[in-house]
Chains A and B, each alone.
Chain A
Amino acid sequence: MKNFKIFSILTVLVLLLAACGGGNKDGDKGASNAADFPKKKFELIVPYSAGGGTDTVARSFADLAKDEIGQPIGVVNREGGGGAVGMQNGANAKADGYSLSVVTVELLTLPHTGLAQFTYEDFRLVSLLNEDPAAITVRADAPWNTIEEFIEAAKTQKLKVGNSGTGAIWHLAGAAFEKETGTTLNHVPFEGAAPAVTALLGGHIDAVSVSPAEVLTHVESGDFKVLAVMADERVEKLSDVPTLKEQGVDLSIGTWRGIAVPKDTPDDVVKVLEDSFATTIQSEEFKATLEKLNLGHRYENGEGFLNLVKEQDALFAELIPAIGLSPQK
């Protein structure tokens, strides 16, 4: 009798686990027929936690895209491993077009740092949602008013530059800046961009190498000034801030977010998604949402997205080993 009780409790547990697992596997096979695609709910995997920047973008996108594509899009947060867990999940998902993933620049950086087993070739890129460059931001009361002054100062003293974690995109941006300008910086890694910004606000570090989006409030309040953005073109909200290229430093680096599906997803299905998402992403509502979040907008279709990714992958393939972050065997 006693054993029976334990046995039944264990059975319930096992069944419960099995039931959870079953949820992912059901659904009809052979959804490759584009004529009736889509006929059921989509799942959009976000590799970061609920409430963060990527999540907010994804949720606003899902909310707008569902009307255009005619089926609901459920957002699922699969965080962990700095995005590796979610993106691995997305790459392994069923290639029927119903499993969408948000991919970010970490799709390129994680494999080069040896923290992920996937590469961008495990995905079929559908559309680019946004892009944000890195920037060099200092306190408003800092002695440097231009990026040249900052670079000159960095050549004689070791300035403390905060980033969002070693190997994360803003650290790579800071390291690339260091390499291109021949300076030596003291990179201070924080757990995310927000604590780095707080430390700059408190005067504990000299600069941050995060995106304009993350410092804009403090620029507007007069606490910070942005010396340069690491983009091809100036940022709309900071139109008086020069790009590094204008200053003779050939460096464009930043983060981006896009939608991707597993690589074996049929062409006709991808086409349906690409066309529908093009309308959503270029809509005024979506642009307005990004604008509210202080995020940059950039749309590319699958092909344009792939070109961007290839170009950046080459940059990281060179940069990451150069700063000693490639996997040690």
Chain B
Amino acid sequence: MDLLLNGFAQVFHPSIFILIIAGVIAGIVIGALPGLTATMGVALFLPITFGMDPVAGLLLLVGVYFGGVYGGSIASILLNTPGTPASAATALDGYPFTKQGKAGKALGIAVIAASTGGLFSVFMLIFISPQLAQIALDFSAPEMFGLAIFGLSIISSISGGSVLKGLISGVFGLVICTVGMDPMTSYPRFTYDNISLLNGLNFIPVMIGLFAISEALVIMEEQLTGGKGFGKIIASYALPTWNELKKLWGTILRSSGIGTFIGIVPGAGADIAAFVAYNEAKRFAKKEEKETFGKGNPKGIAAPEAAGNALTGGAFVPLLTLGIPGDAVTAIMLGALVVQGIQPGPQLFETSSELVYTLFSGMLVANVLMLIFGLVGIRLFTTILKVPKNIIAPVIIVLSVVGAFAISNNYFDVFTMLGAGIIGYFMKKFGFPASPIVLALILGPMAESEMRRALVMSEGSFMIFLERPIALTFIILAIVSLVVPLIMGQIKSKKAKAINE
């Protein structure tokens, strides 16, 4: 505890405090822009920190990381253009809120859930990380396959109106995943000798296209055809009331737990955490409430935001205790630590306990700052809704082009994005949800390579999935999530029939 207090004293030193503020703000902006993810933000800031004092440099990156994960939700709630993959889950219920003129409430719920999730995970990191670290080691290929399959089963709950259309979207996403080098043999599949396709279609440009470009096209169409539908959106700053929040605590805490857990699992990021939490929020919701998911249920915002940000602390658990990163961002952080001459691992807590606890205090402060900026910023963020739609649409397109190009400085990604945008537009027209494609793109490659890796390990025996308890649990959960809603649907319709007769 002394160490933590000492850490706070260091964090509030003006030179460090200003860096955290700068990091959080930069992170929020980066996260909000389409295509610029928290991962990219941290990578961009990394070289700047080389010349800094270790604590200052690391806390700047922490600020960018935390802010970036949250920032994605702003664009996703206000414009339905998720800035990061994780916030694609927030868009499901966040954007309907905006359409109902309750943008302020949605943003308020998002930032409160996000910072609560973040704080929760940092406390877990501080107090029980050695105990949690074991989870990271227990997860290998069969367990990761189980998690991926369980994640894919979520498609049935994020499909909106039609499960069939959701599944079609999901399968379409899985088909796209087969493009690129075979993950096990490196044999090029469907690449047509184009080296840009060797690594498969880059998933961020596809996501930007499906959400942002298609949204811009829809806006343009509405402008041209005389603005039917939601022509005018009333921007309301009204924050969520205490009573509204009270109903969300259960969801926020559960989602924070899910997020922290997924954060610890190496290779699973904020996107998976957000979608899993969304699914669980819906599963735990009361029967009559389930219908409102996807149409503006506050739990549908709170769950992915809490989980996505709870992931951040979780991802640090294996990084600091074992020296293995919990997600893509902490992989870059590992590089940052090493450059600073800090070797993460079991001895870190003994050799550099002062640094570790300053880092912890900084993480708590960064989450609180995020809450403050998020709440104060609501008025500022919502002004974007007052901008005429005919200006918004080209701005979205320009930002999307820049964002897609920035990912790997490659034109190919820009064309991928534009192509996905056109597909996304027609999907919107015909009522196919885009989120299942995003989920399939995240989890498809993971499911494929982890399953095949597990089979390489077991030399071809499928028993490896049944013999390992964690893997088996996830596979059973996946089957349950897929089958139970169908059976319940059958029973319901039979009962309805019986009553009618």
Q: Which residues of A come within 8 Å of B, CB atoms?
A: 2, 5-6, 9, 12-13, 16-17, 20-21, 49-53, 56, 59-60, 63, 75-82, 84-85, 88, 113, 115-117, 158, 160, 165-168, 186-191, 194-195, 197-199, 201-205, 217-218, 220-221, 289, 292-294, 325
User: What are 17 contact pairs spanning A and B, CB under 8 A?
Assistant: A6-B224, A50-B40, A50-B43, A51-B46, A52-B335, A80-B408, A81-B199, A115-B188, A160-B457, A166-B186, A186-B456, A191-B183, A194-B324, A194-B331, A198-B324, A202-B139, A293-B339
Encoded as 1 (CB less than 8 Å from any A CB) or 0, chain B from 381 to 401 comes to 000000000100110011001
Q: How far apart are A103's CB and chain B's nearest CB, in angstroms?
A: 15
Specify which of A59, A81, A115 lies most central, judged by the most chain B CB atoms within 10 Å of its CB.
Answer: A81
Which residues 29-50 in B have Cβ within 8 Å of A in the complex? 40, 42-44, 46-47, 50
Q: How far is the CA of A204 from the CA of B408 in the complex (A)?
A: 34
Residues in A with CB closer than 8 Å to B196 are 80-81, 85
Say yes or no: B220 contacts A80, CB within 8 Å.
Answer: no
Known A50-B40, A78-B409; 7 more pairs at CB < 8 Å: A50-B43, A77-B409, A81-B199, A84-B195, A186-B456, A188-B457, A217-B343
Q: How far is the CA of A3 from the CA of B266 in the complex (A)?
A: 51
Residue of A nearest to B329 (CB): A51
Q: A56-B339, A84-B195, A198-B324 are in contact. Are A6 and B220 (CB under 8 A)?
A: yes
Which of the four size classes fits the interface of chain B?
Answer: 35 or more
Closest 5 CB pairs of A and B: A81-B198, A51-B332, A50-B43, A202-B137, A204-B140
Residues in B with CB closer than 8 Å to A202 are 136-140
Which residues 380-439 in B have Cβ within 8 Å of A in the complex? 390, 393-394, 397-398, 401, 405, 408-412, 414
Encoded as 1 (CB less than 8 Å from any A CB) or 0, chain B from 333 to 361 comes to 00100110101111100000000000000
Residue of A nearest to B318 (CB): A198
Q: How far apart are A137's CB and chain B's nearest CB, in angstroms?
A: 14
Residues in B with CB closer than 8 Å to A197 are 324
Q: A197-B324, A325-B186 are in contact. Are A82 and B181 (CB under 8 A)?
A: yes
Residues in B with CB closer than 8 Å to A6 are 220, 224
**A-B pairs with beta carbons under 8 A, tally:** 160
Q: A6-B220, A190-B453 are in contact. Are A78 and B324 (CB under 8 A)?
A: no
Residue B459 at the A interface, CB < 8 A? yes
Say yes or no: B199 contacts A80, CB within 8 Å.
Answer: yes
Q: How far apart are A302's CB and chain B's nearest CB, in angstroms?
A: 26
The contact of A50 among B46, B343, B457, by CB within 8 Å, is: B46
Q: How far is the CA of A32 from the CA of B138 in the complex (A)?
A: 58
Residues in A with CB closer than 8 Å to B137 are 198, 201-203
Say yes or no: A84 contacts B339, CB within 8 Å.
Answer: no
Q: How far is the CA of A73 from the CA of B435 in the complex (A)?
A: 40
Q: A85-B195, A190-B453 are in contact. Are A217 and B408 (CB under 8 A)?
A: no
Q: How far apart are A210's CB and chain B's nearest CB, in angstroms?
A: 13
Say yes or no: A16 contacts B335, CB within 8 Å.
Answer: no
Q: A49-B408, A81-B199, A199-B140 are in contact. Are A167 and B323 (CB under 8 A)?
A: no
